[in-house]
């Protein structure tokens, strides 16, 4: 993982472990994207698989989104709406519906249809952004 990815993973992880942390409007907590200041008050912490996958959910001008981290392991997710998942740091393997395992590196993304199940596997910490289709 490059230095920038490490900083993002470390920062997101520290925020996720301290849900009471407040951020200055417009700072976006140092992440590589911007949220409207009004949406920060609607931030929600999500924790899955005994805390091994965690995210912060917010509403953006493009719709709902999460910024999160995945610890090493293999996980299965189900979708309610279409999801566009982008790897921000690290490498993530994904098995999308009807497809073979594929590897996604920093900057790459995949789309999962609504009402589907998909698997991911991380050999090391991964940071991601997920946008949900309205």
pLDDT (tens digit per residue) in 15-55: 444 444 333 333 344 444 554 554 455 789 999 999 999 99
Angstrom distances, CA of residue 23 to CA of 11, 13, 114: 12, 15, 32
What is the rounded end-to-end Cα distance, in angstroms, of the chain? 32
pLDDT (tens digit per residue) in 84-98: 999 999 999 999 999
Which of the four pLDDT bands, split at 50, 70 and 90, describes residue 8? very low
Tell me the whole-structure pTM to 2 decimals.
0.71
What is the spatial distance between Cα 59 and Cα 33, in angstroms, rounded to a whole number? 13
What domains can you pick out in the chain, each with its CATH number? 3-132 (2.60.120.10)
């Amino acid at each position: 993982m490059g230095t920038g990815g490490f900083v993002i993973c470390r920062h997101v992880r520290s925020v996720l472990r301290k849900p009471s942390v407040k951020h200055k409007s417009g700072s976006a907590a140092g992440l590589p994207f911007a949220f409207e200041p009004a949406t920060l008050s609607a931030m929600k912490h999500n924790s899955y698989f005994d805390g091994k996958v965690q995210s912060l959910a917010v509403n953006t001008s493009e719709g709902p989104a999460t910024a999160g981290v995945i610890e090493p392991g293999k996980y299965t997710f189900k979708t309610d709406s279409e999801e566009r998942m982008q790897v921000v740091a690290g490498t993530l393997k994904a098995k999308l519906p009807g497809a073979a395992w594929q590897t996604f590196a920093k900057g790459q993304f995949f789309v999962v249809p609504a009402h589907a199940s998909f698997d991911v596997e991380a050999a090391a910490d991964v940071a991601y952004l997920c946008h949900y289709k309205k």
